[in-house]
Structure 1
């Protein structure tokens, strides 16, 4: 059989060095397994220290969490390893696991939302710290398997795959909810500080093999190895609250506080975010005041009848951040209520609300199997949910919040629904009616979500 020659640089190199791919796979798995080991060790130490401060009383939440973590260590490690093994096999075979319906994530079920949002924060942090090196690895992987560009889901070392590794590890294991968020936080810090060494090695090996040497070997961005103080604060706040409060609702509040700390740790600090004024057309400096709640509500009410441009752009561009686009559009529309965009920004609390809703809908648009009609329908919910989150922080504090339940119900009703039979058509019709009522009637009365959810 005549050997094939491939025009894409790198594929011919791989064909003549079949061990190269296996070497890259083994080195990656070894590095990531060691990183997870450190994450679990640090989480165990943190829980032990917390228990010691409380007097190590039998049955205390920290001791119970530590016991569960130790019992779950092997299953966590096995699921984590399996995620990346499948990722490399997917790359080699050029068969996206996501296309085969084997996604690990379940998207907006109540007990998964916080972990999904934490995963989004990990993606942001890893991309900010290692973006150029990650991009070089991805382009070289594409060259190795003979394509110009990898399809979404084919790169086992993309920022999303790295973040989803922790999601996959926890998927089938029952852990205290606040411990899940703490594991994500420690994992984020571990990747930010140690991933650079792996990426440098992989890029060096592929460069030596002649795979796109012109890309060079990008290094971690400056200060990437020093996670912010806010990162540690997330764990501290979760720990302090854990032993002060009891019950599921307390755990929900702990996770919400930890998520906000996660957001603050990666949000641009020097004019890049809405809170700093950067979202208002990129104008920085000057003295800006935060929008008052009634001003936020007025702007959102103006945007509510029609799907904002920010949502259309986010739906058409998987790389776009819905939260950033929404904040920019909201600030740009303050002129419609007589407030100059150059004179205002968003408070941290309001920006948290927009960021969390934005990440939630980013996940929905990227991962859910929505037909075109369903995508349009779900897109109409963005502004009402931003409004609800700004008005009522309990939306993300409590899994049983009526707005959370309503979004779950609507998503389940329209996901994969092509309207081909009477039952599917009826579900779509009811969902459409519900969205119509929410968009038309939601002013400032959160009770509408409970009414519609029933």
Structure 2
């Protein structure tokens, strides 16, 4: 976006540019709304589980609920990827401002894909409803955005990047039709609408205050052309109009801010006031600066900003840093001093000013953690080192670079480290990803300082390539874990049925037909009820009651007998017949079996103790999930990456694709989605503890490293 620098009303110091103000709106929207994606999945899961536990009579509805629950679980395991899509979509909205994003605007003659048509059908009513509810507060922001747009020289009517339709579009882009079934997608959007209804009001109020404090007046739609012409006119031609626009009461004076200038920050949340973690890290860096106090005090002056930027640009163009193996901050300082010497600046006479020194320390510390905690090839490690230079420039220009609402630049850095981590340059697929990461890092290094477009552009290119790999891998791994889950469920159902059959047959003399029915058709009916409805369902209890009733009739026949036996037997015959039919017994065989059952009850027949075919199940379910397993599995989550170091060469990257709710078994797949390991939680934790598997943080390399830096800063270490 073209820059426009407004002048403060105090001492003439430089205020924020419109691009910086808009970026602060994007960051705040990300910080407030991004967590709603996970909350949406949580609310939908609770709703579906409540419906599943309810009295669902229709089998089709029950199947749909089970399918949606499985879909929510899959989405939850890939939540970070969906959050990245949401952030990417919102970044595109702000990047296109003041126009609407091209990807979201359709010509009247263009054809809509099925996904776009569905998104319009389910998204438009939600957007319109939210727009109506927040029309008043949003219109105030719209009027201030007219002024922002005019100050940048645009003459068209600007869109509101935080309008409800863009928020809905971002959500639908995060959970697209390929990742989410149509019914589940519409249901998730309804949950998201309710959450937006509760959060948009506060966000809009903050944005209005932020724009007002930055000095942007409210202007009507009809005033936009006047604003554009007056703010863009030469000073001698537009002074009267500009004075009227910025007269008292129409807008607040722009607030001074900036951690580089060190000036006071006025009331409000701008600049460093919105950077709590960055402030913490910079304060900690200043406490560690005493180790080099003699070097700083010996210098007669500090680097001027233009000198520092010139040295940084020249060093970056060399695409290398001195002193391989040293800490990144040391390498940056040494490289900058060396390049400055070529410009005629004696390193003994000049030192880095506090802001420059803070930035070098923070960027160096971040990259030290990234290099130490990941398995990188030597070439990738050196590329990561050179990347410190463009990120050093960002640290000086962007006070909020180290905050939790990570900008595209930090998202790209995380993604690059993920691609380099555990890569094998002898494997074709791994080599392809290495080339992709190297090309993106080269684009950042070769890019001009201050051109933030390179980060979302490279993110989009990497996402396009990874999306193809990811879809293929997900299809393979889904088939794998679904087969494992089906086998586990069948085994669990059979174990439970064996226990229930043994409880009825153990040490109890029964008629041969009764024992055969319990060990045959009744056992199968128990397995089917467990698989379809669960062990705690009414259907399972009904099948158990049928077996108990048959045992009671047999005991009654062995005792007094009489008409009571006939009455009880006639009462359960329909249920016995249904049990046989459900197990696949044809009608003729069912009639013959039930006739034999009735005949044995009516005539004196010897009884004996029947031993089930599957032996003694008294050991219970040895494969069930124990408390020890649950404790061991608590530190791992589906979707988490692991690096398996090679014995004498490169390692390989594995991913936790699925965790069994029955046994706790953890399925680890390779980059292609194929099964590599199936471990118990205890075995997985043991391998992570001894280094055979190195777990990677679920949040990503950069957020985890920044969290660690903040923890050290709080503890003073």
TM value normalised by structure 1? 0.39
TM value normalised by structure 2? 0.26
Give the greater-gyration-radius structure (CA).
2
Higher relative contact order (CA 8 A, sep 6+): 1
